[in-house]
Structure 1
Amino acid sequence: MFDTGKCFKITGLTLLLMFVALSPIQAREVVVTVTDMAGQPLEGAVVSLAVGTTEWSPRSMNEAAVMDQVGMQFLPRVLAINTGDYVSFPNSDNVRHHVYSFSEPKVFEIKLYADAPKEPLQFDKPGIVVLGCNIHDGMLGYLYVTEPGYVSGTTDKKGNLRLQTNGHISGARIWHERLSVIETELVELSEKGIAAFESGENTYLVTIDPEVPAPDAAPEKPSPTGFGNTMRR
């Protein structure tokens, strides 16, 4: 279960939710745009909508989601999956990586390797899994493991997200790595909370204030004579 006891006061980052009903009885499309206080789009924000029931089946080992490693960065940096899904961690770099997490939903490590591990890993508990590399400190990634009863998605470079959902939306959870220095905190809105931010027909405008400034996006470079260089394939 997600720990929602620590939620942020809604103050400063703009989250635009546009709910477009395709028909009264069919699935509806949810279009989400996330920007910061200055109106700049935020990539990698996760919006998780409470819909009561979900019809998805967990990804099998053969259909595993992919968290790649390219340019000594996790790609994508943020990946939203469902509880029970398998995830593969291929290494597309020409140096070896050692992937690990100490997060409560899944404590694991994949020791120093090239190419790809033999098998993907299953994530059977909901929550936020923070990923690191034991060789390259600058590598950081996140898995958002969606709780049953919710549907989730991650915003693109333009801050946009589209979700298909059935049934009544009774709440929402919003996460971004900049929300707090505690990277697993999120904002939870009740059904009444969402309605309070309705700014037009099927349009919701919510503001929250991130605590952490935007990180330096420059990729880590291996030292020509350092440890990273000795880990080349």
Structure 2
Amino acid sequence: MQLIKNIIRGVFLTAIFINFSLLYAGTIKGKITVKGARDARDVVVYIDKVPGEFKPPKEHAKMDQKNLTFIPHVLPILAGTTVDFHNSDDVLHNVFTPDKCAEKFNLGTWPKGQVRSYTFKQAGCVAVLLCNVHPEMEAWVVVLQNPYFYKTGKDGVFKIENVPAGKYTLKVWHEKLKGKPQEVTVPEKGEVTVNFVMKR
């Protein structure tokens, strides 16, 4: 009986903490300007570290292989997230990575309609994904410590919502471009604007 009470108390306190955090949370918004690239798509904007532990989503992330292309080309995820790799082509595909932070996994080769999965455990890992059947195929998985991130479209605009108030380091990642980290103070309510210039 006491165990049940402790569990209920723990759930209740967790709910209070979550609601309190959201009550004092702001938004980080801004725009990426690029030099040396066609547009500002596929830039991952993220908070480097946020205190606390973050449970990965139960729902798996998805990366497809269609028309001999990984879709999406860049996939940012929270550490501990499982990614399902689909094959929508009429040819055999393979997914592997040479990166140690993703255990140099190789999921083998499989036909259309099948799915293979891998759980990315290490925060800070940036794993390139390749197909040994089609060497022209390439994609990236960016594994992050917290859920406060955003992947840009062509216009480079980003918006990270419900960020707990506080001081953080905001970073950007792109497979070819580089940008300097910026310190940001998130208000208890409202928005803060941060812009980046990225170049080779």
Question: In the TM superposition, what is the alpha-carbon distance from 1:51 to its structure 2 partner?
Answer: 5.4
Question: In the TM superposition, what is the alpha-carbon distance from 1:178 to its structure 2 partner?
Answer: 1.1
Question: In the TM superposition, what is the alpha-carbon distance from 1:33 to its structure 2 partner?
Answer: 2.2
- Corresponding letter in the other structure for 2:24: Q
**After superposition, what is the alpha-carbon deviation per residue over 1:127-181, rounded to whole angstroms, capped at 9, x for unaligned?**
1010000011110000000024x622211233222222222241022110112xx
Q: How does 1:127-206 map to 2 (within 5 A)?
A: 127-148=125-146, 151-164=148-161, 165-179=163-177, 187=179, 189=181, 191=183, 202-206=192-196
- Could you tell me which residue of structure 2 aligns to residue 120 of structure 1? 117
Per the normalisation by structure 2, the TM-score is 0.74
Question: In the TM superposition, what is the alpha-carbon distance from 1:108 to its structure 2 partner?
Answer: 0.6
Per the normalisation by structure 1, the TM-score is 0.64
Q: Does 1:70 align with 2:72?
A: no
Identity %: 26
Which of 106, 117, 120 is the matching residue for 1:109?
106
**After superposition, what is the alpha-carbon deviation per residue over 1:93-133, rounded to whole angstroms, capped at 9, x for unaligned?**
1111011001121111111102223x521111121010000
**After superposition, what is the alpha-carbon deviation per residue over 1:59-104, rounded to whole angstroms, capped at 9, x for unaligned?**
33xx110011111111000000001110000011111101100112
Higher strand share: 2
- Corresponding letter in the other structure for 1:34: I
